[in-house]
Structure 1
Amino acid sequence: PTPSVAFGDISPSRGEITALARRAAVLAKADLTTEVVGEFPELQGAMGRKYALLQGEHTLVAAAIEEHYKPQGPSDRVPTDPVSVAVALADKLDTLVGFWAIDEKPTGSKDPYALRRAALGVIRILVENRVRLALTSLFDRAYQMANYLSSGTAFSADLLAFFHDRLKVYLRDQGARHDLIDAVLAAGSRLISPSRGEIGQSQNDDLLQIVRRVLALGSFLDTEDGRNLLAGTKRAANILAAEEKKKTTIAENVEPALFREDAEKSLFAAVNQAEKEAGQAIHNEDFSAAMLALSALREPVDSFFERVLVNDEDQAVRANRLALLARIRAATDQVADFSKIAG
Structure 2
Amino acid sequence: MSEFLLEVFSEEIPARMQAKAIADLERLMAESLKAADLAFSGMRRFVTPRRLVLVVDGLPAHQPDRTEERRGPRIDAPERAIAGFKASLPDGAVISERAEKKGTFLFAAIHQRGEKSVDVLAPLTEAIIRQFPWPKSMRSGTSESRWVRPLLSVLALFDGQIVPIEIDGIKAGRISKGHRFLSDGAFSVTDFADYRARLLDAHVVLDAAERRRIILDRARALAADHHLELIEDSDLLDENAGLTEWPVPYLGRFDPGFLDVPAEVLITSMKVHQKFFSLSDPKSGALAPCFICVANTKAVDGGATIIAGNERVLSARLSDARFFWQQDLKIPLEDRVAALDAIIFHEKLGTLAERVARIEDLAATLAAFVEKDGQGVDEAFLRRAARLCKADLTTGMVGEFPELQGLVGCRIAKAQNEPDALCRALQDHYAPKGPDDRCPDEGLSVCLALAEKLDTLIGFFAIDEKPTGSKDPFALRRAALGVIRLILENDLRIPLLRLSGFNADLLAFFADRLKVQQRAVGVRHDLIDAVFSLGGEDDLLRLLARVAALSRFIESDDGANLLAGTKRAANILKIEAKKDQGTDWGAVQPALLKDAAEKTLYEKLGAAKTEAARALEVEDFAAAMRALAELRAPIDAFFDQVTVNADDADLRRNRLALLAHIRAAVHQVADFSKIEG
The answer for the alignment partner of 1:160 in structure 2 is 507
1:217 aligns with 2:550: yes
1:113 aligns with 2:474: yes
The aligned amino acid for 2:446 is: V
Distance 1:178 1:22 in 2: 38
| CA contact 1:20–1:60 (8 Å) conserved in 2 | no
The answer for the alignment partner of 1:194 in structure 2 is none
Equivalences for 1:1-343 in 2 at 5 Å? 17-140=378-501, 156-188=503-535, 203-247=536-580, 251-343=585-677
Distance 2:392 2:385 in 1: 12
**Whose relative contact order is higher, 1 or 2, with alpha carbons under 8 Å and at least 6 apart?**
1
Q: 1:221 to 1:138 in 2, by over 3 A?
A: same
Structure having the higher strand fraction is 2
The aligned amino acid for 2:457 is: L
Q: 1:108 to 1:251 in 2, by over 3 A?
A: closer
| CA contact 1:132–1:208 (8 Å) conserved in 2 | yes
Q: 1:307 to 1:15 in 2, by over 3 A?
A: closer
Distance 1:322 1:113 in 2: 50
Q: 1:305 to 1:69 in 2, by over 3 A?
A: same
Residues 154-188 of structure 1: CA distance to partner in whole angstroms, max 9, x if unpaired? xx332222212111211222211122121111123
5+ unaligned residues in a row in structure 1: which ranges?
Answer: 1-5, 7-11, 142-155, 189-202
| CA contact 2:605–2:662 (8 Å) conserved in 1 | yes
Question: In terms of Rg, which structure is larger?
Answer: 2
| CA contact 1:93–1:139 (8 Å) conserved in 2 | no
Distance 2:546 2:450 in 1: 23
| CA contact 1:250–1:322 (8 Å) conserved in 2 | no
- Between stretches 19-28 and 288-297, larger displacement belongs to 19-28
Distance 1:15 1:106 in 2: 35
Distance 1:65 1:54 in 2: 13
Residues 275-331 of structure 1: CA distance to partner in whole angstroms, max 9, x if unpaired? 101111112112111111111101111111111111111111111111111110000
- Between stretches 125-134 and 319-328, larger displacement belongs to 125-134
Following TM superposition, by how much is the alpha carbon of 1:14 offset from its aligned partner in structure 2, in angstroms?
8.3
TM-score w.r.t. the length of structure 1 is: 0.84
Distance 1:255 1:99 in 2: 52
Distance 2:483 2:595 in 1: 53
| CA contact 1:250–1:320 (8 Å) conserved in 2 | no
Distance 1:336 1:263 in 2: 25
Q: 1:16 to 1:267 in 2, by over 3 A?
A: closer
The aligned amino acid for 1:247 is: D
Q: 1:165 to 1:14 in 2, by over 3 A?
A: closer
The aligned amino acid for 1:124 is: R
Following TM superposition, by how much is the alpha carbon of 1:20 offset from its aligned partner in structure 2, in angstroms?
2.2
Residues 101-149 of structure 1: CA distance to partner in whole angstroms, max 9, x if unpaired? 22222221111211110111111111221112122221438xxxxxxxx
| CA contact 2:441–2:490 (8 Å) conserved in 1 | yes
Q: 1:47 to 1:222 in 2, by over 3 A?
A: same
| CA contact 1:17–1:82 (8 Å) conserved in 2 | no
| CA contact 1:212–1:287 (8 Å) conserved in 2 | yes
Partner SS, residue 246 of structure 1: helix
The aligned amino acid for 1:46 is: L
Partner SS, residue 187 of structure 1: coil
Distance 1:314 1:63 in 2: 73
The aligned amino acid for 1:27 is: L
| CA contact 1:250–1:319 (8 Å) conserved in 2 | no
Distance 1:121 1:19 in 2: 25
5+ unaligned residues in a row in structure 2: which ranges?
Answer: 1-333, 335-371
| CA contact 2:377–2:444 (8 Å) conserved in 1 | no
The aligned amino acid for 2:421 is: L
Distance 2:420 2:406 in 1: 14
Following TM superposition, by how much is the alpha carbon of 1:47 offset from its aligned partner in structure 2, in angstroms?
1.9
Distance 1:33 1:226 in 2: 58
CA RMSD of aligned residues (A): 1.9
Distance 2:497 2:517 in 1: 20
Distance 1:315 1:256 in 2: 16
Distance 1:101 1:128 in 2: 28
The aligned amino acid for 1:184 is: V
The structure 1 segments of at least 4 consecutive aligned residues displaced by more than 4 Å after TM superposition are 12-16
The aligned amino acid for 2:540 is: L
| CA contact 1:278–1:291 (8 Å) conserved in 2 | yes
Distance 1:179 1:35 in 2: 49
Distance 1:99 1:309 in 2: 54
| CA contact 1:236–1:328 (8 Å) conserved in 2 | yes
Q: How many residues align?
A: 305
Q: 1:16 to 1:305 in 2, by over 3 A?
A: closer
